[in-house]
Copies of this chain bind each other. A is one copy, B any other.
Amino acid sequence: MEDHHQHQGQDPDGSSPSNGSTERSPEPVRSRWIPKPEQILILESIFNSGMVNPPKEETVRIRKLLEKFGSVGDANVFYWFQNRRSRSRRRQRQLQASLEQRTNNNINNDPMASLSHHQLRGEIQYGISCSVPATAPPLAYGASPNNFLMGSSSSSSCGHHLITDNDVHHSTACVDDQFFPVSGQMGFPEIEQSSGVTSALGGGPSETSNLHFQSVFSTRFQIAFKKILQ
């Protein structure tokens, strides 16, 4: 029921320097979004208010809000949160790792020390507040008290959003132009052989002929194939 994301590459009103005619040059020359200070404030405020992974819907709202201060797309917002989360976590990890030398310092020969890595998701800020300094409007965002310390065993998984774009799901459309005439045969693609760099290893001649078939095509594909050929 949801989707998400987007992205965009826009060029701010005046953020991007000269450039002038990027046109259709073979080299895209992507310029990236450069958030305005006000936008950063808003984003940080939201993030620090606890909404670290806004669902699609919120992302759109945030984007609209940010647009008051400069051109920006949903994807930019999405990326921002993604990177923010990621780097926040990383810093946390590093920091903790450095603090953890203490463990090595004292108990160095503990054979069990290497497990348990996965979870431990206390992570960072939650009720930071931050009080939105300047221009940011309501931005309250319910201050969602929500989740931390939810999953205990494997992975945390919480929000979810997505890529989204034009959602279709409308009706099914029915076959129109009639593609696929069905004519048996299909030379299998063959797989690696590629550049040969990969090993070659012992493999030798290795027939692996039809072995390829199943490794290249998904189960459903094969089923679909049969189904269509009847």
Contacts and interface: CB of A to CB of B under 8 A. Distances in A.
A103 to B, nearest CB: 6
Interface string A49-85: 0000000000010010001111111110011000010
Interface residues of A, dominant DSSP? loop
Residue of A7, A42, A171, A183 ringed by the most chain B CB atoms within 10 A: A7
Interface residues of A, number: 133
Given A99-B206, A120-B200, A163-B163, A48 B134 contact: no
Nearest to A50: B189
A211 to B, nearest CB: 8
B149 A195 contact: yes
Contacts of A170: 8, 71
Interface of A: 1-11, 13, 28, 30-31, 35-38, 40-42, 44, 48, 60, 63, 67-75, 78-79, 84, 87-88, 91-92, 95-97, 99-100, 102-103, 113-126, 128-137, 148-149, 162-203, 206, 208, 211-212, 215-218, 220-221, 223-225, 227-229
14 contacts: A5-B164, A6-B165, A36-B224, A37-B224, A69-B175, A71-B172, A74-B166, A88-B216, A114-B198, A122-B194, A125-B216, A130-B186, A134-B225, A136-B180
